[in-house]
Chains A and B, each alone.
Chain A
């Protein structure tokens, strides 16, 4: 199962990088979302995909009676999803605000912070 999932991770990252190369900030954000999902999936695959029982120990027992799934990657992914959700929501709000204030989503035209230096006059 790891093989196909690894392939999916690869495809997600490739698509994400392609989108992020666009000048449009929204495309960039979509690329970011894809890569963020790819990273989560990568952690999931890194925890080994096995068919096993949920990681719960029945009452009164010290260890689980049968092989259980690895709960740690899921806890990590859950944390990463929550954090990623916050970051992406913030990025979306920022991009919306930038569009309202600056009137563009084209990063090539966003030069307020780093203005193009005026061309020196040619001395004859």
Chain B
């Protein structure tokens, strides 16, 4: 069991090490990477099945008993996040085979990519705050390297801003971990749930909560801490952006959810109030930024921010339905967002630019790509019966249950504006004729490249479609995950081995 829980980060690390000596041979290196991702995906699915049938699993690294050693925990939320990371990793590594040029592979692209996956999976599965910090750093170093790999002028410029702001977040996180340790004497998350509730110092606990919101808020790109995201996400190759967009900010949201359901006592209400305000502002500013831009990837980058608002909203409302909505939304969003970025990459390949004014004619040239874009984009905007509709429905229903009508209003306005900018891309890039009549069709590119570009996109679009048409299983799963989050008794029992009677406020 303990080996199985360690595999989600061991596999990518070993794949990274295997791909490193092979980096001079582009094809071999790419296949190692894809193979590693396939292995990772299989492992995560096994973990998901085990968790679903047998409940929360925990493993102690090095046989050091919790709360003294490092604990790995897989509950429903962790398990589904691991699976979705596996899916994104697999699709993006497949896409990277044709999108990443030889000189970037030679610099070690695939190794850094796998290291990034190791960091992401490690963050999802760890049950220890300091270990979480370490995985964040693994993820951060790998993302720094991926962002500036190749060293174009624009990449360096974007990379500086990304590095600068993310280092601040790192230091805030480290400081808040130090404060947590000072207050409670432990960093095991399950133990913290018990210890922090016993701390009789509301001022210090509140200060700590705010520090955590800032530290993880920068990672998650919530208002007003998101400025590194639109400054950097459009600069690297689109493969890199796709995996960043799919996973990095979501890790921030995941840790926010963990922190404010597991670590902090649920009686502490004001963090949720702060998060509610920031969530609404994040939704609005993100979508307004997207409406103002005319570059394919910049529009998508601003949409990441706006979607983060929805995820945080689920946490802020803090009801079982809202948290389930956040989980469902996260899954839907990771799939749709990654897919949109991959499509933008292929669109650039066919038309030669990301600027909407300089491209067009994609609908006529490649109806298949247009179909996939249509699914992903309108799912993001919340069109029934695609997956985004159910995600938004859950959140809107949760806000209506709490009579938070202004939340509903903001969510609907955001939805309409999302639709506006998605139809802007649709009209400009797909329907309009290409200004220079340059648009290639999918038939014009080599056959293997066509498959490498289209298979991941088709797979992700299929997931979106299936989630939209048969949302029942995932909604049930999300509700179960939300129930675990709000009543962490099982989690604590799995980690510490004690059976505490959990008395929550709900």
Contact = CB atoms under 8 A, between A and B. Distances in A.
Interface of A: 20, 25, 28, 32, 35-36, 38-40, 42-43, 45-48, 72-73, 76, 79-80, 83, 86-87, 90-91, 94-95, 97-98, 101-102, 107, 110-114
A36 B177 CA distance: 13
A91 B167 contact: yes
Interface string B137-156: 10011001100100101101
Contacts of B153: 101-102, 112
B171 A97 contact: no
A1 B48 CA distance: 49
Contacts of B182: 42, 45-48
**Most A CB within 10 A of own CB, among B158, B182, B232:** B182
Contacts of A107: 160
A98 B160 contact: yes
A83 B178 contact: no
Interface in B157-180: 157-161, 163-164, 167-168, 170-171, 174-175, 177-179
A98 B156 contact: yes
Given A79-B134, A83-B134, A42 B154 contact: no
A39 B137 contact: no
25 contacts: A25-B160, A39-B171, A39-B174, A39-B178, A42-B175, A42-B178, A42-B182, A46-B182, A76-B177, A86-B137, A87-B137, A87-B141, A87-B167, A90-B145, A90-B163, A91-B163, A94-B144, A97-B156, A98-B156, A98-B159, A102-B157, A110-B160, A113-B154, A113-B161, A113-B232
B171 A98 contact: no
B179 A46 contact: yes
A32 B175 CA distance: 13
Given A28-B164, A76-B178, A90-B145, 11 more contacts: A43-B174, A45-B178, A46-B183, A76-B130, A76-B181, A76-B187, A91-B163, A91-B167, A101-B153, A112-B157, A113-B157
B332 to A, nearest CB: 29
A80 B174 contact: yes
Contact of B156 (A38, A94, A114): A94
Interface of B: 130, 133-134, 137, 140-141, 144-145, 148, 151, 153-154, 156-161, 163-164, 167-168, 170-171, 174-175, 177-179, 181-183, 187, 230-232, 234-235
Contacts of B163: 90-91, 94
A46 B176 CA distance: 11
B167 A102 contact: no
A35 B60 CA distance: 33
A1 B312 CA distance: 41
Given A39-B171, A83-B134, A114-B230, A47 B157 contact: no
Contact of B141 (A38, A45, A86): A86
Q: Is the interface of A mostly helix, strand, loop or mixed?
A: helix
A45 B181 CA distance: 10
Nearest to B68: A72
B167 A32 contact: yes
A36 B171 contact: yes
B69 to A, nearest CB: 11
A97 B157 CA distance: 10
Nearest to B166: A87
Contacts of A73: 181
Contact of A113 (B151, B181, B235): B235
* 3 A-B pairs with the lowest CB-CB distances in the bound complex, closest first: A46-B182, A43-B178, A113-B158
A90 B160 contact: no
B213 to A, nearest CB: 17
Contact of B171 (A28, A32, A101, A111): A32
A4 to B, nearest CB: 16
Contacts of B183: 46
A47 B156 contact: no
Contacts of B130: 76, 79
A46 B145 CA distance: 33
